Amino acid sequence: MSRSGALDLATGLGGKIKKNEVQSAVEQYEKYHVCFGGDDDTRKTNYSDMVNKYYDLATSFYEYGWGESFHFAHRWNGESLRESIKRHEHYLALQLGLKPGMKVLDVGCGIGGPLREIARFSSTSITALNNNEYQISRGTELNRLVGLGDSCDFVKADFMKMPFADNTYDAVYAIEATCHAPDVVGCYKEIYRVLKPGQCFAAYEWCMTDNFDPNNETHQRIKAEIELGNGLPDIRSTNQCLEAVKLAGFEIISEKDLAADSPVPWYLPLDGSRFSLTSFRLTSIGRFITRTMVKTLEFVRLAPAGSARVSSFLETAAEGLVEGGRKEIFTPMYFFLAQKPL
C-alpha cells in the first residue's frame, strides 16, 4: 500500500535521482525560481527538467503527508480530508458522465490515487499520463496491489506532445496538473486532439483569482513561493485559463472556482494555527516533527544530502498556499467542463 512510514520517506527521497546527486538537484531546482534569482522564461524553456526534478524530490513527502492523491478538495463541515478528496474525484467523474466501458485519459496522474478511485467508482478503464518515471513506478505497483494492473495503465510522456492518435478518448480529465504546462493553450490543444468529437474534458486548475494584484509586492511574493514549492513555471489567472480552453477549440459547458463556496477552506490542512489528529502530519507540530526527523535521517545518512532543503522549500510552499488561500488571491480548484464540438 501507500508508503507512509518515516523510512519510506527517507528511502524514496530523490526518486530516480542518484542519492549522491540529490543535493545538486535541489540546488539546480531552486535556481529556477524567483526566490533564488530565476525567471519564468527559464522555467518555461526548461519545464521538463524543472518539473521532473521537483517530483523526484517531493513525491515521497507527498505520500508521507498527504496520501496517494496529490490534490486539494472542496470540503463540507464534518467531512474528513480523505473523504473530501474522494468526493472531489467522484465529482469530476459525475461531471464527465463516466460510464462502464469508456476509455478515459488522466493527464498528469501523480502516483495514480485519483485514477484508482475514479476507475473503481465508474468502472472505466483509465490511461494515466505522466512524465515522471519515479511516480509511474509507484503508481504501477499500487495499481497492481488493488487489482487494477490489467484495466488501467501508465504511459510515460509529456502532455505537451502526447503519444496517442487523434480522437482516441471518450473523456479526459486533469487534476492540478496542467498548471505545470509551459504553454497552456498548447497543452489543451493536445487534449483536444486526442479526445473524440462530442466528448468532454474536465479539470481542476491552479490559478490566481481576480483578487490577485500583479502590482502588489506581497501578492507577488506569495505567487513566487507557491511556484517554488510546487514546481510551477508561472501561475495563470482564471481568465487566462478559460480563454486558453476556448482558444484550444473547446466549448465551455460550465466553469466555477469551487474554493469560493467550500464551507471548510481547502488550505485548512496546511494551516499551522489549527490542530487535527486525523491529518496530524500536516499540522505545525507534525511538520516540525517531520523537519527534525528528516534532518536526523540526513545526518545519519539514511536520507540523502539535500533532503532537509527539500523539506524546507515544501514548507515555503505550504506557507504561500495558506496565505494565498486566506487572501483569496489563489485557488487550486478552478473547475471547468468543456466539450469538443461534433
- Contacts with ligand SAM by CB under 6 A lie at 51, 55, 69-71, 108-110, 113-114, 129-132, 135, 158-160, 175-177, 180
Distance CA(274)–CA(105), nearest Å, equals 37
* In the complex, minimum distance from the CB of residue 338 to ligand SAM, in angstroms, rounded to a whole number: 18
DSSP string, 244-297: HHHHTTPEEEEEEEGGGG-SB-TTGGG-TT---STTGGGSHHHHHHHHHHHHHH
DSSP code of 236? Answer: P
Nearest by Cα to 84 from 315, 268, 302: 268
Residue placing its CB nearer to ligand SAM in the complex, 111 or 245: 111
Residue placing its CB nearer to ligand SAM in the complex, 135 or 331: 135
Please name the residue that has the C-alpha cell 528528516. 294
The answer to whether residues 76 and 28 touch, using CB atoms and an 8 Å cutoff, is: no
Residue placing its CB nearer to ligand SAM in the complex, 113 or 297: 113
**Residue 137 in grid coordinates:** 513506478
Residue placing its CB nearer to ligand SAM in the complex, 113 or 325: 113
Distance CA(111)–CA(61), nearest Å, equals 13
How does strand 195-208 pair with strand 251-257? Answer: unpaired
Residue placing its CB nearer to ligand SAM in the complex, 236 or 298: 236
* In the complex, minimum distance from the CB of residue 142 to ligand SAM, in angstroms, rounded to a whole number: 11
* In the complex, minimum distance from the CB of residue 143 to ligand SAM, in angstroms, rounded to a whole number: 13
Residue placing its CB nearer to ligand SAM in the complex, 18 or 161: 161
* In the complex, minimum distance from the CB of residue 21 to ligand SAM, in angstroms, rounded to a whole number: 19
* In the complex, minimum distance from the CB of residue 238 to ligand SAM, in angstroms, rounded to a whole number: 18
Reduce the DSSP state of residue 103 to 3 states and report it: strand
* In the complex, minimum distance from the CB of residue 75 to ligand SAM, in angstroms, rounded to a whole number: 15
Residue placing its CB nearer to ligand SAM in the complex, 107 or 245: 107
Distance CA(21)–CA(24), nearest Å, equals 6
Residue 289, CA distances (Å) to 9, 144, 187, 311 in order: 13, 32, 39, 11
> Torsions phi, psi of 127, nearest 5?
-100, 130
* In the complex, minimum distance from the CB of residue 15 to ligand SAM, in angstroms, rounded to a whole number: 10
